Amino acid sequence: MTDQQLDYQVTVEELSALMKRTAGVHVDPVTLEQQAADGFDTFGLDSLGLLGIVAELEKRYGLGLPEQAERCKTPADFLALVNGALKTGV
């Protein structure tokens, strides 16, 4: 693992953009950050949409994300899990 890999982090802004691009769900990043503990369903994102986001991130970073990423219920949980996986490389 290179030092650069440790710098990867998915931000709320990126998650908002991914939600729009992969699932057609538009959520303002400020709103997403303020309501990060609310369920993805609050924003209109279903499990298939989340799966698309996971696939996009795996392709972007060349890393398989933990299976739990597809089952996260909130943006806060998702970002914590994904960023933890990106930091450790697993």
Predicted confidence (pLDDT) per residue in 27-49, tens digit: 999 999 999 999 999 999 999 99
Q: Residue 3 pLDDT > 80, yes or no? A: no
Residue 71 token pair: 């089952």
Q: According to the model, what pLDDT value does residue 5 have?
A: 44
Residue 4 identity (one-letter amino acid)? Q
Round the average pLDDT of the chain to a whole number and report it.
91
**Is 73:43 a contact under the CB 8 Å cutoff?**
no
Domain boundaries, the chain: 3-88
Superfamily of domain 3-88: ACP-like (1.10.1200.10)
CA 18 vs. chain centroid, Å, equals 8
**Is 43:19 a contact under the CB 8 Å cutoff?**
yes
Tell me: the pLDDT tens digits for 59-69?
998 989 999 99
